[in-house]
Amino acid sequence: MKTELFKNLKHDAPAGLVVFLVAIPLCLGIALASGAPLFSGIIAGIVGGIVVTTFSGSQVGVSGPAAGLAVIVLSAIQELGAFETFLLAVFIGGLFQIGLGIAKAGIIGYYFPSSVIKGMLSGIGIIIILKQIPHAFGYDADYEGDLGFVQADGENTFSELVNMLNFITPGALIIAAISLAILILWERPFMKKIRVFQIVQGPLVAVTAGILMGIGFAGNPDLALRTEQMVSIPVATDFNSFIGLFTLPDFGQIFNGQVWVIGMTIAVVASLETLLCVEATDKLDPQKRVTPTNRELRAQGIGNMVSGLIGGLPVTQVIVRSSANIQSGNKSKASALIHGFMILISAMLIPNVLNLIPLSSLAAILFVVGFKLAKPVLFKQMYSLGWKQFIPFVVTILAIVFTDLLQGIAIGLAVAIFHVLLDNYRNPYIAKRSDDASHKHIRLVLSENVTFLNKGKILRVLSKIPNDTELFIDASRTVQIDHDVLEIINDFKESAKYKNIDLKICCLDHLELNGYEESLRELIVDEDEIQNMPPAEEFTEEKEITLA
């Protein structure tokens, strides 16, 4: 009998395989950039896939080592003088993260506007494509997984594209081109109708083809790939040598103040990256499920404690792996769990096979992931929503491309907040207290000016709406409603179907719906229907809730 977790195995197993193929080079590349043992990246990938997933409430997120922490890790190892001491800081960082989860710091993730999050996704998509082009050409000076503009090899994202022209490997370029052609072919509608191609995933075929071509090119000096152009997992000859790849932290440094400061730094940066990723992946999730952010922080904390204990890098939820997971059709967190076990088993049993995978073949997979994150139609959609959405969206993309993830988000957020403050200056914000939404007939009355700053409270109240409920959203008092809030209501429309919630909305005619006119029209009712609801004393289950 299948358990609830594995009831969608036919979808989750192929998705887990794709994430596994994407994750391996990223784990190794980030470990290399961090100045840590290569296997520490593999350990972090295993912990992120198995331990974090077990405790997480996210159905689509995938955790592992993050490029955003590479600089912090590199400087921390140098500052502390020993990798074992750094592992203690990772363990302590996990403790701090658990504390943040208990303190309900996860609400911070709700205060990033939709335009910035979508800009983050598109920016990362563009960065993925730009960073993988040199790998496709056979020039691998920059490490896999790098998302920063300034690179460790002395180049930047754009100068690297020029520099790679002096180091082209024809064999790598051929492998990348054929792998990409296979992936594009697999995306065609007619291919999806053939049952065998529904079972055998395009990325697996592309990687297999890459391995065979790499072996075939070995005898040709003009086409042969070099060792650094392949995946490079440390190889253990037996079980004892495999266990020897794990490292214990130095608990003798527990009273070292630097260790605690670095641990706290890891906790804050890792938590922020995780919350950003959670917000982004929830938007990509076709079922529009809402991840419990405080639980996610606790799960990440447990993961970092375990990773620190056995020799791994810090872990966060990671957008590249998570988006690959969603795009591959995952249905539950079983796919992330499967990817974690695949990393563990392959590192134990078949590292030599993995070391035959060309990086140029994996670059083709990441090209597809990047394109799906930064589809041109998204730019057109954001432009149609008006300048208040489009400007923060574009600014976030440009900032991420020319700085890094966290700086780019900060710049985009600053621009979005400026627009909100300008609106709040024109329409003063009226705050009112919220009641508990826990009954069968519920009325939500939106206040005068509802912005993305209200996302956390609105999401929290909607998540508490019980199954089999009649829900009225009353916007009769509302003067301005932000695109982000409309998006939340539109996403809730989809999740309401799974909970048998009868959702109705009134009094939207006077508001700018920012592209949601068609989507919400089926939910709109006349104000008379709201006014004609039975008086509260006739059914004591109804409560009026005013959202601040």
Please give the full DSSP string across 213-225, using - where no structure is assigned: HHHHHTT-TTTPP
Q: Is residue 60 part of a domain?
A: yes
The reported pLDDT for the residue numbered 509 is 74
The reported pLDDT for the residue numbered 483 is 83
Q: What is the pTM of this model?
A: 0.82
Q: Are residues 400 and 446 in the same domain?
A: no
As beta bridge partners, residue 525 has 506
What is the average per-residue pLDDT within 483-497?
A: 87
Phi/psi of residue 539, nearest 5 degrees: -145, 105
The reported pLDDT for the residue numbered 546 is 52
Note the pLDDT tens digit of each residue in 504-518: 888 777 777 777 777
- Mention every residue, 6+ apart, whose C-beta is less than 8 A from residue 401: 123, 126, 127, 130, 149, 157, 408
Q: Are residues 103 and 168 in the same domain?
A: yes
3-state secondary structure 488-517: HHHHHHHHHHHCCCEEEEECCCCCCCCCCH
Report the amino acid identity of residue 396. T
Q: Are residues 62 and 110 in the same domain?
A: yes
Over 60: is that where the pLDDT of 241 sits? Answer: yes
- Exposed/middle/buried for residue 165 (C-beta within 10 Å: 0-12, 13-18, 19+): exposed
Extract the tokens encoding 526: 């006349």
pLDDT above 90 as % of the chain: 62
The reported pLDDT for the residue numbered 486 is 86
**Higher per-residue confidence, 304 vs 525:** 304
DSSP 234: P
Number of domains in the chain: 3
Q: Are residues 399 and 345 in the same domain?
A: no
Q: CB–CB of 334/6 below 8 Å?
A: yes
Q: Are residues 388 and 477 in the same domain?
A: no
How would residue 190 be classed by pLDDT, with cut points 50, 70 and 90? Answer: confident
Q: Is residue 1 part of a domain?
A: no
How would residue 158 be classed by pLDDT, with cut points 50, 70 and 90? Answer: very high
Q: Is residue 2 part of a domain?
A: no
Note the pLDDT tens digit of each residue in 24-59: 999 999 999 999 999 999 999 999 999 999 999 999
Note the pLDDT tens digit of each residue in 374-411: 999 999 999 998 888 999 999 999 999 999 888 999 99
Q: Give the closest residue to 91 by CA, choosing from 272, 267, 295.
A: 267
Over 50: is that where the pLDDT of 336 sits? Answer: yes
Rounded CA separation 62/19 (Å)? 8
What is the average per-residue pLDDT within 149-154?
A: 88
Q: CB–CB of 487/514 below 8 Å?
A: no
Mean pLDDT computed over every residue of the chain: 87
**C-alpha to C-alpha distances, 128 to 239, 365, 408, nearest whole angstrom:** 36, 10, 15
How would residue 437 be classed by pLDDT, with cut points 50, 70 and 90? Answer: very low
The reported pLDDT for the residue numbered 112 is 86
Q: Are residues 205 and 272 in the same domain?
A: yes
Q: Is residue 5 part of a domain?
A: no
The reported pLDDT for the residue numbered 470 is 82
Over 70: is that where the pLDDT of 429 sits? Answer: no
Rounded CA separation 78/464 (Å)? 47
Q: Which residues of 123-142 are buried (b: 16+ CB within 10 A; e: fewer)?
A: bbbbbbbbbbbbbbbbbbbb
Q: Are residues 449 and 493 in the same domain?
A: yes
Q: Is residue 433 part of a domain?
A: no
Extract the tokens encoding 207: 């990687």
The reported pLDDT for the residue numbered 422 is 67
Q: Are residues 234 and 287 in the same domain?
A: yes
The reported pLDDT for the residue numbered 435 is 43
Q: Which of 344, 366, 388 is the last residue of a domain?
A: 366
Look-up of token digits 């266990």? 243
**Higher per-residue confidence, 468 vs 228:** 228
Over 80: is that where the pLDDT of 304 sits? Answer: yes
Q: Are residues 298 and 258 in the same domain?
A: yes
Q: Are residues 361 and 387 in the same domain?
A: no
Q: Are residues 394 and 473 in the same domain?
A: no
* For the ranges 32-36, 421-425, 436-440, 526-530, the one whose mean pLDDT is highest: 32-36
| Structural domain boundaries, residue 505 | 441-547
Q: Give the closest residue to 211 by CA, choosing from 401, 80, 352.
A: 352
Q: Is residue 4 part of a domain?
A: no
CATH number of the structural domain spanning residue 497: 3.30.750
How would residue 545 be classed by pLDDT, with cut points 50, 70 and 90? Answer: low
What is the average per-residue pLDDT within 83-90?
A: 97
Least confident of 78-82, 195-199, 229-233, 276-280: 195-199
**C-alpha to C-alpha distances, 518 to 385, 515, 522, nearest whole angstrom:** 14, 8, 8
Rounded CA separation 499/466 (Å)? 8
Q: Are residues 458 and 353 in the same domain?
A: no
Q: Which of 341, 366, 391 is the last residue of a domain?
A: 366
Rounded CA separation 502/322 (Å)? 32
Q: Is residue 49 part of a domain?
A: yes
Q: Give the closest residue to 488 by CA, choosing from 296, 281, 290.
A: 290
Q: Is residue 50 part of a domain?
A: yes
Note the pLDDT tens digit of each residue in 347-358: 999 999 999 999
Least confident of 299-303, 354-358, 420-424: 420-424
